[in-house]
Amino acid sequence: MKRRQALIASGSVLLAPGIARAAWPDREITILVAYGAGGSTDVSTRAMAAEAEKLLGVPIQIVNRTGGQGTSAPAQVATMRPDGHVMATAGMAALAILPHVLDLPYTLDSFGFLPGYARYLYGIAVPADSPITTAQELIAAGRQRRVTFAAAGAPQNVGMFELNARLRTRFAFIPFPGGAEAVTAAIGKHVDFVIQNPPEMLPALQSGRLRLIASASDARWKELPNVPTLREQGVELAVDSVLGLVMPRGVPADRAEILSRAFLQAARNPAVAETLSRFGMIPAPVPAADFEAMQRRALAEFGPHLREAGLARR
């Protein structure tokens, strides 16, 4: 009993599941995942949620809500009762890019923000016999001629649009419904290069059908550690997207704080990091305020690039 009282007095109830916890949450929590079961977003969320439910003391149910290029889940959550029991996964595409492109039923002001927990990795690969071997050679080719690239969409395409604006390259986006289709197009030489995540690209890279010329993120891939990042090759760009959680705006502050503490601590768990590494992601335990600031900054920055590419609604 003394140990229980000490834990409560110190405010560390979330650190001692089964010994003491706050009176709320008092029932199951649901996380709507914006992509299908088995993918990197789904698996990373399940890993983080498994640790968070130990801290919160209630089950966390994962429900997949696909569609709308990752916007269906946050769109549904934006309209729900703000009691803290339902939230959604969301990344830069849904929060900062697609609002410029699609007519969505939400804005950033529709949400309360919870922590970020994972960062996607991206890479640029060319067909195995391509004459392009480095990022600088890719930039040089893009300045001389129209160079096509395959991707499933944002944020990969926006990164290339940014290079077009800054370096006067002529990278032309060829959209595909998914990462696997984009990789297949590059293998078949229907495009000059592909920019996608490790899980979709690694089989083709390891079999020698594609060649990775750069990590498009700020971290190298653990599977191909000798391939430098774009920045390491003198190209000031990182294609970045942190995955986090959003909830309906108006969740009481005390409940939001309990959730934020639990999810942030869960994101720092080594078991979560191990799962992320198997699905082409890296840990990104980002406090709620910082996760929100990232999205607001990106929303402002991406607008001009999307308008110049002719993709913005206005």
* Radius of gyration of the chain from its Cα atoms, rounded to whole angstroms: 21
Nearest-angstrom CA–CA distance, 246 and 265: 17
Count Cβ neighbours within 10 Å for each residue of 64-97 and write b for 16 or more, e otherwise.
bbeebbbbbbbbbbbeeebebbbbbbbbbbbbbb
pLDDT at 10: 40
Q: Which helix (H) or strand (E) holds 259?
A: helix 253-267
The tens-digit pLDDT sequence of the chain (314 residues) is 444 344 333 444 444 444 345 689 999 999 999 888 888 889 999 999 999 999 999 999 999 998 887 899 999 999 999 999 999 999 998 999 899 989 999 999 999 999 999 999 999 999 999 999 999 999 999 999 999 999 987 788 888 988 998 899 999 999 887 788 999 999 999 999 999 999 889 999 999 999 999 999 999 999 999 999 999 999 998 888 899 999 999 999 999 999 999 999 999 999 999 999 888 899 999 999 999 999 999 999 888 878 877 777 76
Instruction: Report whether 251 contacts 112 (CB < 8 A).
Output: yes
Q: Which domains does the chain have, with CATH numbers?
A: 2-120+241-308 (3.40.190.150), 123-233 (3.40.190.10)
DSSP state of 217: S
- Assess whether the previous peptide bond of 283 is cis (omega < 30° from 0): no
pLDDT at 16: 44
Instruction: Report whether 281 contacts 144 (CB < 8 A).
Output: no
Three-state secondary structure string covering 82-150: CCCCEEEEECHHHHHHHHHHCCCCCCHHHEEEEEEEEEECCEEEEECCCCCCCHHHHHHHHHHCCEEEE
Q: Which helix (H) or strand (E) holds 167?
A: helix 156-167
Nearest-angstrom CA–CA distance, 270 and 273: 5
pLDDT at 11: 42
Tell me which amino acid residue 243 is.
Answer: L
pLDDT at 22: 65
Q: Give the three-state DSSP class for 32.
A: strand
Instruction: Report whether 87 contacts 247 (CB < 8 A).
Output: yes
CA dihedral 292, 298, 300, 304 (to 10 degrees): -170
pTM of the predicted protein model:
0.82
